[in-house]
């Protein structure tokens, strides 16, 4: 049987851990509420902007130059990989890393071998993972979640867009978790640049836009703005997903701690009962020995 003191110490330790995980669950729930409100408010605006952008891009017919839609040979590729700053959120970060590694193996193994694959990590876990594996990093923006706002995301988005225009990379993809609900996050890989014109199924051919002052001015202003919104939306999706994943993980950890405490208490009671029984047997044995003597 286990030593009573050891079992009691384990019960105290697990109880303390349970209190911590329960508190972390409540903190994650409070943060999730705010993050969820932000992404729910952002989605309709982002979707509408993306739809307009696809319609306009499809209707340009080369009449207006779109520097963000230039399709080039994919010699240099940038992957924007969004994770969290901290752990304790289940498989949230590891799933992003697995998806990114699979994407590289499937589509960009040549660029990786030739040294033309770049990673822009957002989130400390992303930075640490790819730095440890010696990837080429654009590491100026990985602490974005410390002060998450559109202005912060805009700076990173502008750097990515300027790099594409300047030829630093020929294609940019986003890898992030999309928030569905507290228990479910959907991994997404989206082409960020070059801008994809809408397909015939996606484009609303009946839409006739009136441009003011000119189509060129509107397009040159709208496309960068739409790209910044798309970038910010991906970061917000990941932020809400992180809190949902952490809330779920801490809830499971709290339940597991409760089950473990029950098992330890049962073990403690059995050990205690065995010790008492042993003492009684020793006393009875001693009494019988005295009686025989």
Can you tell me the distance from the alpha carbon of 96 to that of 90, in angstroms, rounded to the nearest whole number?
A: 12
Alpha helices in 61-202 (DSSP H): 92-107, 109-114, 124-132, 150-165
Tell me, yes or no, if 62 is annotated catalytic: no
Residues near 207 by beta carbon (within 8 Å), at least 6 away in sequence = 55
Residue 96's CB: how many other CB atoms inside 10 A? 25
Can you tell me the distance from the alpha carbon of 176 to that of 235, in angstroms, rounded to the nearest whole number?
A: 8
Instruction: Please identify which of the residues 35, 49, 82, 89 carries the catalytic annotation.
Output: 89
Contact 76, 170 (CB under 8 A): yes
Sheet with 171-181: strands ordered across: 136-137, 117-122, 77-82, 171-181, 184-193
* Residue appearing with tokens 């701690």: 257
Q: At what angle do helices 124-132 and 92-107 cross, to 10 degrees?
A: 50
Q: Which residues are catalytic?
A: 89
């Amino acid at each position: 049987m286990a030593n009573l003191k050891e079992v009691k110490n384990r019960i105290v330790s697990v109880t303390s851990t349970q209190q911590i995980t329960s508190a972390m669950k409540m903190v994650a729930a409070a943060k999730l509420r705010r993050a969820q409100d932000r992404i729910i408010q952002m989605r309709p605006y982002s979707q509408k902007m993306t739809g307009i952008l696809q319609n306009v891009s499809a209707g340009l017919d080369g009449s207006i130059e779109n520097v963000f839609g230039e399709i080039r040979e994919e010699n240099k590729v940038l992957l924007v990989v969004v994770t969290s700053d901290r752990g304790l959120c289940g498989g949230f970060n590891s799933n992003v890393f697995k998806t990114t590694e699979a994407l590289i193996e499937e589509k960009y193994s040549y660029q990786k071998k030739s040294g033309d694959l770049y990673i822009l990590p957002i989130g400390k876990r992303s930075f640490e993972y790819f730095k440890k594996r010696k990837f080429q990093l654009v590491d100026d923006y990985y602490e974005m979640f410390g002060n998450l706002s559109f202005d912060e995301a805009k700076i990173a988005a502008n750097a990515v867009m300027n790099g594409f225009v300047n030829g630093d990379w020929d294609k940019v993809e986003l890898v992030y978790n999309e928030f569905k609900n507290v228990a479910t996050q959907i991994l997404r890989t989206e082409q960020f640049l070059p801008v994809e014109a809408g397909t015939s199924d996606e484009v609303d051919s009946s839409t006739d836009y009136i441009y003011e002052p000119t189509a060129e001015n509107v397009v040159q202003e709208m496309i960068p703005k739409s790209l910044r919104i798309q970038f910010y939306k991906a970061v917000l999706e990941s932020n809400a997903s992180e809190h949902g994943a952490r809330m779920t993980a801490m809830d499971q950890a709290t339940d597991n701690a409760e089950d473990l405490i029950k098992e330890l208490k049962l073990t403690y009671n059995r050990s205690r009962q065995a010790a008492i029984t042993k003492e009684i047997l020793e006393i009875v044995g001693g009494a019988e020995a005295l009686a025989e003597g």
